[in-house]
Every structure is written in structure tokens, then in C-alpha cells.
Structure 1
């Protein structure tokens, strides 16, 4: 299991892309196919929902889908296992905001996922978890800890220069030429870098500045609008 820990709005998307590419290249040598399943655990926040979500991604027919309620967890797990093991492939499961799921519903689903490989004959599962809590693994049951081969990566916040690069690309896409005054991007980046390097915060500052300028009937976004 890979565990990525990061501040909100930091580099998890880049990390996921790079690791999916590297994992895919390595596993394509061993398996016919490499497939990915991303789940946000703040949205899907129960063990049943996680297993159902994964299983239904690999359901061939509508009638093979796992219902949203009504099955025992054991039946859902067995159905998931059968679907995954239909062909020789590697499945990379990404659980974002995993700490939210564990704090709310416990770590039973992690135990079930990490032991999947013991029950699979053709397929293989790799688990990638993303958490905002550096101490998240301290909450895991000893059964889970004993089964995971944990590889931890701590993603650092964006600095001001990196945030500038992100905003400059967004300015090119979202604003007309010369509609954003010099210094606006730098100001948004500096303010966001001061607040844990949150890219979402920087983008919000830029968007709101544009909306304020538009409501004021002005043709250009200036620093005063930030």
C-alpha cells in the first residue's frame, strides 16, 4: 500500500499521475491489463460503498451490479473478488481522503482490500491511499498494519513560484489578453503560499478578483480586486 500525505490543495494529482504511469509500465509486463479506480472517501464513506463502487466498475452487465443496499458485506466482498478475478490484470485502487473514512467507519474495508490478493488467482490489487493526516496510520488496527507493505510519501505544499505557474496557465485559459494586470498573479500566489501553499486558495483568489472587477464594470483585474 502506498500512502501519500499532503496538505489540502497540494500536489496529489501530479503524484497520482506519475505513480499510475510508473505502476502501469511495471505491471503491464506481468499482466495483460492495468486498470485504475479512484474513490473520494469523503463522498463514498462506508465500507459497503467502497466495495460496491469498485465491484460495479468491473461489472460486465447491469444485472451483475452490486446493489446500493441489501447485501451482507461478505456477499459484496465475494462478488467483488469474482469480478476482479475474471481476467489476468492489475487493478490500482486509489482512496483519496482515506482518513475521513477510517475516522467515520473504521478500517475494516482496508483490511478487506489488502487481503484481496490472498483470494485472487488471476488478478492483483495495488492500493494507494491519500490522507491529510500525517498520523493517520496510528489509527489502523494491527491486522491491517501487519498486512500492508507501506510506502509513505509526504507531499510538500506549493511555493509561490509554483503557484504562479499554475495561475499563469489559468489566466491564459480564462481571461482575455491583458485583462489581468501585472502583479495580480504574484499577489494571489504570495497570499496562498503564506497559507500552506493551497492551489485551490490561489485559484479562488484569482476567480473572485475577476468577478469583483466584472461586477464593477472594469476591463482589467488589478491588485486592488484581490
Structure 2
């Protein structure tokens, strides 16, 4: 039978709360009823795993799929895991895979960059570093039919009349206290320092592909390869898209 903690969803001293998905958040199990929970645990393990995957993983072949608003994401819910202890321990690994897959494989968008937080602190209140680092595809619209597209470490800038093949590749490198690690093998690129609105002092260096020869173009792409997107770079992209 599928067991739940005593009391109305509260952990006791003898039964400490579980940590869901290793996120450092204490959670307790919510009973979904003895009949439903014990019924699921009576199914063969292979069938239970299929059910967990169907519930937790997002369909990737939906023809009506639309980009996900980065400010209002909907990663897999923990509700199934918190229904009872046995399901939690059995399905937590699948949940972690589905959670990472959501951020890694989804295409995200910011419909209007003016809706984004204006400070790094504001951004940190909305999003978490370890989630942003998994993102591979993001499109940010500036409100004037221009956009900034992130894909695999590098941004591409498009103006209102820019054709897809004519977008300008740029690399946004956090500087100063925001820098995690310097990028390697950077070319002597056309670049400029960028600071947030109303502040003094460079916070990012923006490297432009425009004007580079073929060899330096390769260097720029190599520097971006494998680079994880972070909150500091995302904030820099917001500043750039707003008009820097």
C-alpha cells in the first residue's frame, strides 16, 4: 500500500520532510487517496514507468507547439511525486530527467523586452541560474519588430527589415563581478563595452561578428561553443535589446 505521512500533509520530527528534485526545498506528501495511490503501485513496474513518463515529459511532436514565455514557464509538476512516499522514491529520477529536458529542449521567448526586470536582482527573483544554463533556444523581441535570438552560445540580431540569413552574430560576455570565467581564444573582434541603463561602468563586452575575417569568425564561434547561458548574460541581452 502507498504510504503517506501522518497528519494533513505535515512532516513530523520522526519523519523529516523530503527534498524534491534536489532543489533545497522541503516538501511534504499530499494524499491523493488510498485507492488511487495503492492502485497505481499494484501495476507492473514497466507500466508505472510509462505512466510517469507520460505525465512528466512534454510532448515534442505537437504541431500546435508554440514557444514558451520565459517569464511564465511551466516545467513538470511535482504533484504526482508528492502523492505518496513510494511514488516519490520510484519516480524522482524520471522527474529530474523531465525537468532538465523541459529547460534544455524547449524554445523560449520574451514577447516584449520592456516586460523584463530592469535589474539583476529583479531577474534573480523571477528565474534561477541553473534553469537558465540549460536553455539552448530563446527569442527576445524588442517591441519594434526587431529581435535577438539565442542559440547554442551565440546571439543573432535582427532589425525590422533584416532577412533571416542576414542576421548579425554577436557574443555577449559578462564582465567584472558578473563574469564567471573568461572566454577562451577570443579574436581581436569589433567590440564595445556596455553598461546598464542609468549606471556607470562596463558590465558586459559585446563582440560583433560584423567586420571579422573568416578566421576570426571561426574563433568567435569556437569561443561560444559549449558556453552556458547565465543570468548575467541574459540581463546583458535585455540591455542590448532595449537599445544599447
Q: Is TM (by shorter chain) over 0.5?
A: no
Give the helix-richer structure, 1 or 2: 1
TM-score by length of 2: 0.21
TM-score by length of 1: 0.22
Structure number with greater CO (CA < 8 Å, separation at least 6) is 1
